Amino acid sequence: MTPDWGTFPGYEDPVRGGDRIDWVVAGGPVEVLRVAINTYRENGRYPSDHAPAQAEVRLA
């Protein structure tokens, strides 16, 4: 789990309480176990202006 970071940091480091415009939505036989914001950078640069949300899920 990651802090309550926003997902639209605009190529900057994510900040707590920032805008959350990317979501993980599941239903039916999918159970979301946990969600985290991916802060991967290559050579000090973010690949996108969005910080991706990634989830661990369980299929029922």
Q: What pLDDT is attached to residue 1?
A: 67
**pLDDT value at position 10?**
93
Residue spans of the domains in the chain: they are 1-60
Place of tokens 């997902």: 7
The pLDDT score that the predictor gives to residue 2 is: 80
pLDDT tens profile 13-53: 988 999 889 988 999 999 999 999 988 899 989 999 999 89
